[in-house]
């Protein structure tokens, strides 16, 4: 696979001789590899790259393309970062009322919900938000791959949907909106029902026949205003479909706690919410 950057921003203060002064955060999606470098002392993001890995990859092709980007990169394999974190988009998750949840049964809950999924191939994370217990997954193959590249550093692994949920819960200002995140193949939605105060979540393929039904559910039961993030532009078909259903639709910006240098003034902010909302 040839390496071509979909998007790249570099602050000229970056120095390859100062690797130990930077935090590395990587996001892996089904079709993309994104990463940023943050200067540890100032918490300012000084480097951003976004690589397209191809569409409809089978697992072996996906891994081959991912390795190709990493192996050909000028410094991504370096082991001397101040910290390394990897967040992975994997849209399958479980949610149960906290009173009915037992951590020892996490894999059984998921197996009931996704009988065709080989649960043993995934690491699970459990976390509580309001009255609900969430269970998310991270592929063990990806964990082992990155551990092979960075054997000298502990790596923090997380799930992108879990990070978005935690961000939504921590920031009151966003809870008056429906939050929609579009990846190349999936829509994820988070919102609070005004009538009940219950947190609602959705993960659905963009090609699913019931995708419009989920938009109707948000329209009927969600907030009046919707913030949309991810791989989407005003000219895309999926945007027009969503905009026809959810009238008060706006593109979201970068998380408010992020520090970007002046070189990032042209960044398409909605595309990097799931990378920049990670607290690391």
Three-class secondary structure of residue 165 per DSSP? helix
pLDDT for position 4: 54
Dihedral (Cα; 54, 46, 158, 236), 10-degree rounding: -40
Contact in structure between 31 and 52 (CB atoms under 8 Å): yes
Residue 76 is given by DSSP the state T
Q: Where in the chain is the domain with CATH 3.30.420.40?
A: 170-251
CA distances from 266 to 19, 244, 260 (A): 25, 28, 11
Specify the CATH class of 5-89+139-159+254-270 in words: alpha beta
Q: What is the pLDDT of residue 255?
A: 86
Q: Residue 111 burial by CB count (10 A; 0-12/13-18/19+): exposed, middle or buried?
A: middle
User: Per residue of the chain (280 residues), what is the pLDDT tens digit?
Assistant: 444 557 899 999 999 999 999 999 999 998 999 999 999 999 999 999 999 988 767 888 899 999 999 999 999 999 999 999 999 999 999 999 999 999 889 989 999 999 999 999 999 999 999 889 999 999 999 999 999 999 999 999 999 999 999 999 999 889 999 999 998 789 999 999 999 999 999 999 999 999 999 999 999 999 999 999 999 999 999 999 999 999 899 999 888 778 898 899 888 889 999 999 987 6
pLDDT value at position 155? 97
Question: What is the location of CATH 3.30.420.250 in the chain?
Answer: 5-89+139-159+254-270
pLDDT value at residue 117: 92
The overall pTM is greater than 0.75: yes
**Topology classification of domain 170-251:** Nucleotidyltransferase; domain 5 (3.30.420)
The pLDDT score that the predictor gives to residue 5 is 55
């Amino acid at each position: 696979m040839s390496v071509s950057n979909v998007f790249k921003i570099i602050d000229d203060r970056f120095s390859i001789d100062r690797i130990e002064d930077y935090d590395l955060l990587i996001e892996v999606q089904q079709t993309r590899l994104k990463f940023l470098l943050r200067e540890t002392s100032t918490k300012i993001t000084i480097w951003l790259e976004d690589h397209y890995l191809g569409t409809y990859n089978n697992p072996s092709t996906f891994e081959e393309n991912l390795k190709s980007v990493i192996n050909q990169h000028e410094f991504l394999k370096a082991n001397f970062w101040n910290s390394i974190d990897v967040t992975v988009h994997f849209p399958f998750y479980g949610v149960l009322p906290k009173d009915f949840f037992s951590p020892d049964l996490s894999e059984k809950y998921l197996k009931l919900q996704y009988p065709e999924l080989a649960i043993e191939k995934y690491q699970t994370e459990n976390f509580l938000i309001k009255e609900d217990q969430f269970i998310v997954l991270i592929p063990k193959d990806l964990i082992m791959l990155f551990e092979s590249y960075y054997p000298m550093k502990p790596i923090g692994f997380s799930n992108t949907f879990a990070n978005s949920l935690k961000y939504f819960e921590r920031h009151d200002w966003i809870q008056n909106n429906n939050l929609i995140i579009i990846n190349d193949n999936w829509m994820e939605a988070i919102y609070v029902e005004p009538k009940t105060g219950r947190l609602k979540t959705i993960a659905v393929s963009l090609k699913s026949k019931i995708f419009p039904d989920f938009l109707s559910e948000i329209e009927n039961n969600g907030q009046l205003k919707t913030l949309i993030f991810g791989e989407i532009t005003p000219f895309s078909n999926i945007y027009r479909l969503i905009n026809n259903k959810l009238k008060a639709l706006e593109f979201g910006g970068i998380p408010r706690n992020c520090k970007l240098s002046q070189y990032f003034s042209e960044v398409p902010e909605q595309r990097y919410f799931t990378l920049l909302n990670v607290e690391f």
